Amino acid sequence: MKKIVFDGQVYAQRMTGQYRYADELLKALDGMIGKDEFEIVVPEYVDIEGKFKNIKVVKYGKVKGLLWTQTSLPMYLIKHRARSLGFCNITPLIHPGITAVLDIAYKVLTDEYKNLYGRASSLWHRLNYYAAAKSGYPIITISEFCKEQISEVYKVPAKRIGVVPCSWEHILAVG
């Protein structure tokens, strides 16, 4: 089995719901795994040193934003014969891996995205959903409803889709 590398682009963004989902999952995984058993690859300008006890942080690539996920991350994955696990609906299109598709709103609610940005964002996300569906790798989602919807719309066998629900425990850390 290939080494699994976490997509650390989430730490280059401002915190949103899907990024908090990724952060909480990574913190939970960090407490369950052995030292350096997994890596998280982040852009070189991201500083998360000391965030994890067991997940090894690797800085790689200088480009920013989605371009990093589509260029630097796949170069690292290919070089190190690894697969990515991305938590935020995006997968490296030239080297897809395990992807969390939190929902497929951009596919099923197309009438909601009418302006230029909305249409471009919808197209981009639908391309990523399609790549994740056709990759053959597992898909993670947040509910049985989303699992059924992904399976039906993209013809992905249900056994390839795992449900990892959102959590509420992060609220305990808010001061």
Residue 114 maps to a domain = no
Residue 118 maps to a domain = no
Instruction: Spell out a b/e string for 97-124, using b for 16 or more CB atoms within 10 Å of the CB, else e.
Output: bbbbbbbbebbeeeeebeeeeeeeebee
Domain that holds residue 23: 3-101+131-167
With a CB cutoff of 8 Å and minimum separation 6, the contacts of 114 are none
Residue 125 maps to a domain = no
Residue 173 maps to a domain = no
Q: Are 23 and 9 in contact (CB under 8 A)?
A: no
Residue 160 maps to a domain = yes
Residue 113 maps to a domain = no
Q: Are 115 and 153 in contact (CB under 8 A)?
A: no
Residue 175 maps to a domain = no
- Both tokens of residue 114? 């009418």
- Structural domain count of the chain: 1
pLDDT in tens, the chain (175 residues): 578 999 999 899 887 777 888 898 899 999 999 888 899 999 999 999 899 999 999 999 999 988 999 999 999 999 999 999 999 899 999 999 999 999 998 999 888 888 999 999 999 999 999 999 999 999 999 999 999 999 999 999 999 999 998 866 655 665 5
Residue 121 maps to a domain = no
- What CATH number corresponds to the domain at position 88? 3.40.50.2000
CA atoms within 13 A on the CB side of 9: 25
